[in-house]
Amino acid sequence: MALNTPGTREGSTAGALGAASVPLSLCMIVRDAAGTLPACLAGIHEWVDEMVVVDTGSVDDTPAVAAAFGARVFRVPWQDSFAAGRNESFARARGRWLFWMDADDVIDADNARRLRAVALADDAPADLLGHVVRVHCPGGGGDNEPGEDGSAGVVGEGVTAVDHVKLVRNRPDVRFSGRIHEQLLPAIRRAGGRVGWTDLFVVHAGADRSAAGQRKKLDRDLRLLALELSDHPGHTFALFNLGMTLAAAGRPDEALAALYASREAAGDADSHLRKVFALIAACEAAAGRAGRAADACAAGLALFPEDPELLFRRASLWQRVGRPADAVRLYRRLLCRDRVPRHFTSVDLGLVGYKARHNLATALEEVGDLSAAETEYRLATTAAPTFRPAWRGLFAVLLRQGRAAVVAEDLDRLAAASSAAPAVPALGAELAVQRAAVTEAAGDLAIARRTLASAAERHPNDPEVLRARCRFLFTHGPDNEAATALARLVHRHPTDASALHNLATVRLRSGARSDAADLYRRSLKVRPHHPPTLSLLHEAEGSKLTQAPAI
């Protein structure tokens, strides 16, 4: 099948050409990717002059799919090394420039066109050996997508942008290294070259985000990392990748051991170092050690004072320890940073946008500046109309000011956002929750109760609907219904500290002190030293009960 490419329109073909006649090659390694490969190749095949696909053992139709798009397909045994597979594809490519993608990446026409323009430019300096192209990972990089610094960014909703050297000159000394989280940058530096920064990106759109798929990927990654560390004991980058993977696997203590070892072995110029500090802070905070998390942020910021993730995490820690004014200062610094030089990183783009604004708003509420908080919540909902916490915060701050009429207008805005995003059913759930909150604030408890009950039927798996209904029943009763709803919430979310606290309090009100004490202790494991929980635990263990609000 002949390629209909810009290269062909320039008078060449993708057939038997010498390297001088092939401006741009696509290089891929694939395995059992028949489900995602068509979308990948559909976006790129018209913009490259040849496609080299190395298949490492597919049992599905992947090779046939690649061939149907005109790719040259080579079957090469898997060698427990992504670098080895990618280098096989590079060795077979004939282009002056090589561009690599994964089978679950896609590129749009604008980025593909501009990518080709970069490759065809004839004024690139000889020492410019590669270009950085970002990978946008929807859902905050939840599939642990590694960057050129090995990092996976911040997991969460939104998009994580990961820097990769994806377009390089076809030279035998520019090759990948590393069994996993493979890199081109070390080879470029050894060759005395440098890389250029672009605003191009591909989207990592087809990753398997199922629980089974993620477990399989983590198991594979840990196995390859063990082999990598056997090959290179004590290597800072391999240790970092091990720590990152263990953290993603829910093994924070093991992750911290690897991350601290990576930090000790790293040099200040290593591209992954800033991410080492960020992940240490995240793991320490998750373990309830806010002081050690703050120390990690401070050490990282001493080297990288404008790093967005470190600033975000430090500000969050200030809020966690009851210093919202300090948090406000850091969030504003994060949002008002001057343009800083590009560096290899992977970062949740929300940390310098809507998530920072949302957290700034919550901190402003804590210091009593409700007007400024409202402004930040509005900016967050404008930037990310599907981000529910910002809507929730906006309505709460308006209700605190008694501005029910404004809330009604904003409910219409949320309803419009919900209609514009039918693929995000959670927005409809949030609309129901907020309508119930408005009617509750107005004293229409029966309507609020019916609204929440109806929302629970329509959105039975939405945790925020269940949480809202639990809070309502906790406050307005009856206790038996509150206990049933809270027990269901705790069963689904066993580390929800507030739900554990509130269920304990309902049990305590009914006289079940032993059950209540056990639930308070479980809550404290998640949220250590929380004053209301500590106080009520003391009461459950024998003192007089006082009235406690829902938290």
CA 250 to chain CA centroid, nearest Å: 15
Residue 320 backbone phi and psi in degrees, to 5: -60, -35
How does 85-106 read in b/e, with b if 16+ C-beta sit within 10 Å? bbbbbbebbbbbbbbbbbbbbb
Out of 1.25.40.10, 1.10.1040.10, 1.10.540.10, 1.10.150.110, the CATH code matching 228-311+319-349 is 1.25.40.10
Q: Quick one: CA dihedral 440, 443, 449, 454, positive or negative?
A: negative
Question: How far apart are the C-alpha atoms of 94 and 450, rounded to whole Å?
Answer: 67
Q: What share of the chain is helix, strand, coil (3-state, %, to 5)?
A: 55, 10, 30
Domain at 6-207, CATH homologous superfamily: Spore Coat Polysaccharide Biosynthesis Protein SpsA; Chain A (3.90.550.10)
pLDDT value of position 337: 74
pLDDT band of residue 146 (cuts 50, 70, 90) is: very low
* DSSP string for 280-317: HHHHHHHTT-HHHHHHHHHHHHHH-TT-HHHHHHHHHH
What tens digit of pLDDT does each residue of 242-260 get? 999 999 888 999 999 999 9
Question: How far apart are the C-alpha atoms of 373 and 381, rounded to whole Å?
Answer: 12
Angle between helices 513-526 and 497-509 (to 10 degrees): 170
Cis previous bond, 478, omega within 30: yes
Pairing of strands 159-169, 50-55: unpaired
Closest CA to 54 of 13, 18, 16, 25: 25
Classify residue 192 by burial, with Cβ atoms within 10 Å: 0-12, 13-18, 19+: exposed
Question: How far apart are the C-alpha atoms of 357 and 335, rounded to whole Å?
Answer: 8
Three-point CA angle 419, 425, 427, nearest 5°: 65
pLDDT band of residue 16 (cuts 50, 70, 90) is: very low
What tens digit of pLDDT does each residue of 182-221 get? 999 999 999 999 999 999 999 998 878 788 888 899 999 9
Choice between 401 and 7, residue whose per-residue pLDDT is larger:
401
CA 226 to chain CA centroid, nearest Å: 25
Question: How far apart are the C-alpha atoms of 281 and 275, rounded to whole Å?
Answer: 10
Residue 27 backbone phi and psi in degrees, to 5: -125, 130
In what helix (H) or strand (E) does residue 24 lie, and over which residues does it extend?
Answer: strand 24-30
* DSSP string for 153-193: ---SSSEEEEEEEEEEE--TT---B-SSS-BSHHHHHHTT-
pLDDT band of residue 19 (cuts 50, 70, 90) is: very low
For the chain, give the mean pLDDT.
88
Q: How many CB atoms lie within 10 A of CB 15?
A: 11
Residue type, 235: H
Longest dimension (CA), the chain: 89
Query: What length does the chain have?
Result: 551
Question: How far apart are the C-alpha atoms of 222 and 38, rounded to whole Å?
Answer: 29
pLDDT band of residue 150 (cuts 50, 70, 90) is: very low
Considering the entire predicted model, what is its pTM? 0.79
The token duo for 290 is 């806010």
Whether the predicted pLDDT of 363 surpasses 80: yes
What tens digit of pLDDT does each residue of 222-239 get? 999 999 999 999 999 999
Domain locations in the chain as residue ranges: 6-207, 228-311+319-349, 497-551
What tens digit of pLDDT does each residue of 510-528 get? 999 999 999 999 999 888 7
Query: Which residues fall within 8 angstroms of residue 382, CB to CB, at 6 or more apart?
Result: none
CB 75 within 8 A of CB 63: yes
